[in-house]
Amino acid sequence: MSSCNFSRNLAGFALSLGLASVGFASAANAATPPASSKAVKEEGGKYFDANGDPTYKISPDGKVDWYTFSGFRRFNGTCDVCHGPDGAGSSFGPDLTQALKSLDYSQFVATVSGGKRDVNTAQTLVMPAFGTNKNVMCYLDDIYVYLRARSDGAMGRGRPKSHEPKSKEATDYENSCMGP
């Protein structure tokens, strides 16, 4: 890969600090993925849309790219505690498959990195900041790609049946981000 995801995520976070309080708003279900989700560029097994944001690639037989599969694993190992299995929401956290219909990449990065706090007379909602948690930040793009595929309706619930192999670039990045 030409750039380090962790560095890009931190740069995105720094540029969008004012967006850290943007809520996970719901939006109507889209019948088909937005055109902006379409992969137009590939680097080392990672796909990007026309805006340069990470996105998914799912073949007609349901095979997902490595990063979408990694995002499934990472999300369901960390984020599902509050946001429910497959991002479908719970009593602790909102349905992220709906939230990503109105939340862009930089807002997602800012919220996960910096946290979020919504307080009103009925409830207090708090999302902790994960900006220093390598188990989240090193895989933030993967988690975003997975949730984007779920949000667009391109991927159903549960473990993907098959996935592309992990690229050398993905392995190299993971080793450099996680460190010794």
Q: Packing angle between helix 140-152 and helix 105-114, nearest 10 degrees?
A: 130
Instruction: Using pLDDT thresholds of 50, 70 and 90, give the confidence band for residue 131.
Output: confident
Mean pLDDT of the chain: 79
pLDDT at position 11 = 41
pLDDT at position 89 = 74
* Encoded tokens for 36: 């902006």
Kindly list the structural domains of the chain, giving each domain's residue range(s) and its CATH number in brackets, ordered by start: 5-18+34-152 (1.10.760)
Residue 24 pLDDT > 70? no
Mean pLDDT calculated for residue range 13-30: 36
Mean pLDDT calculated for residue range 106-117: 90
Mean pLDDT calculated for residue range 1-28: 39
Q: What pTM does this model have?
A: 0.77
CB-facing half-sphere around the CA of 43: CA atoms within 13 A: 12
Q: What is the pLDDT of residues 50-104, one digit of tens each?
A: 999 999 999 989 899 999 999 999 998 888 788 878 887 777 788 888 888 988 9
Residue 5 pLDDT > 60? no
For the chain, give the longest Cα–Cα distance.
51
pLDDT at position 17 = 38
Measured CA to CA in angstroms, residue 167 lies from 4, 39, 91, 173 at distances of 15, 17, 37, 10
Across the strands, what pairs with 47? 42, 55
pLDDT at position 117 = 83
Mean pLDDT calculated for residue range 109-136: 86
Residue 37 pLDDT > 70? yes
The amino acid sitting at 138 is C
Residue by residue, DSSP assigns 9-41 as HHHHHHHTGGGTT------PPPSS--GGGS--E
Residue 30 pLDDT > 50? no
pLDDT at position 180 = 67
Output the CA torsion sign for 149, 69, 79, 41: negative
From 102, 82, 88, 106, select the one nearest 146 (Cα to Cα).
88
Q: Where are the alpha helices (DSSP H) in the chain?
A: 5-15, 66-74, 80-83, 96-99, 105-114, 134-137, 140-152, 168-178
